[in-house]
Amino acid sequence: MAAVFTVGGCGAPSFEEMVPALAQPQTEQDQLPTGEGDGNIDVVEAESTRYLGGTQVAKYWVGLDGEEICLVQSLRGTETVGVSCADAEVFGESGVWVRTSSAEVSATGLLVPERFDLADVAVDEDWVRVSDNLAAPAEEGEAQASSG
């Protein structure tokens, strides 16, 4: 069963309603990392990014790219960064997935809208919530709240 969103007959909810972190002022922690491997995150509007949390293997940010919402993943201990984006309809139905690999590590993250039921995720592994709008496979480890 997929999550369905309605907002008082006014159409689809905004990304800020689906991911409340986007409505908060940007802090230093919310800014994307910079380095040699970050060329593919140029699609995300820098002022729109918000840090969502991390696991033992990756850190995650949400950001906007025009009419799409994006999940940015940075693998810890590497300069490997991955980005995946979706429009509001796709995001509302199934979230935004990102899978990134380096020679040392790989990670998968799932950005989900508010009130999204992880039981709706069609995968063979157990998933855990890293934060309100972020999930990751349980085997990738416990959530890490720090930005480091």
Task: Please write the tens of the pLDDT for every residue from 70-83.
Answer: 999 999 999 899 99
Rounded-to-integer distance, Cα 56 and Cα 104, Å: 13
Q: How many CB atoms lie within 10 A of CB 29?
A: 12
Q: What is the largest CA-CA distance in the chain?
A: 49
User: Which pTM does this prediction carry?
Assistant: 0.83
Beta-bridge mates of residue 136: 128
Strands (E) located in the chain: 50-54, 58-65, 68-75, 81-87, 96-101, 106-111, 127-131, 134-137
> Which residue carries 């960064």 as its tokens?
81
pLDDT of amino acid 76: 92
Whether the CB-CB separation of 113 and 141 falls below 8 Å is answered with no
Q: pLDDT of the chain along its 148 residues, tens only?
A: 333 333 334 556 799 999 999 999 999 999 988 754 455 567 799 999 999 999 999 999 999 999 999 999 999 999 899 999 999 999 998 899 999 999 988 999 999 999 888 777 756 678 888 999 999 998 886 655 444 4
